[in-house]
Amino acid sequence: MERKYSVIIIIGVFWILGTIGFALSIDVPSQYSRNIEIIKLVFLSIGAFGVISATHLNIYNSLESTQNIKNKIYFDKLNNSFQFFEKWESPILKETRDLTREIEENSSKISDEDLKNRILINENLKRSVITEMNFWEGMYLSI
């Protein structure tokens, strides 16, 4: 933030020096027309300083805004990850994980139809499997 204003001050110093340099280099026949030319130069340089400083501030504001958006996206990703951790530890997903471990241990003994019937008969287990699939689909979409 401080750098933004120090650059404006540096631009201002160069603007003043440049305006004085141009004013001293004006060569016209009469003093009256020289004064008018200096006044025109000063007003033109004020306009130029306004454009340059406004452009500079606009660029810095855009960069700061972009950085704020990047920080918000990073925070949202982190927050989303923690929400997935919390969901993973919920009791309804634990039930499906327990079933998965049991299937792994007895995979040779359980047929696909028996497993399907076991899930369809138990309403809590069915809801748990659906929630687990939604969990993984949500994680996929999040990534």
What is the structure's pLDDT at 68?
94
Looking at residues 25-39, what average pLDDT do you find?
Answer: 81
Reduced to 3 states, what is the DSSP secondary structure of residue 64?
helix
Q: What is the pLDDT of residues 47-59, one digit of tens each?
A: 888 888 888 889 8
What tokens were used for 4?
């933004």
Give me the pLDDT at residue 36, please.
Answer: 86
pLDDT of residue 75: 93
pLDDT at site 65? 93
pLDDT confidence of residue 1: 55
pLDDT at 71: 95
- Give the C-alpha separation, 134 to 139, whole Å: 8
Alpha-carbon distance 120 to 110, whole Å? 15
Is the confidence at residue 129, as pLDDT, over 70?
yes
What is the rounded average pLDDT for all residues in the chain?
A: 84
DSSP designation for 28? -
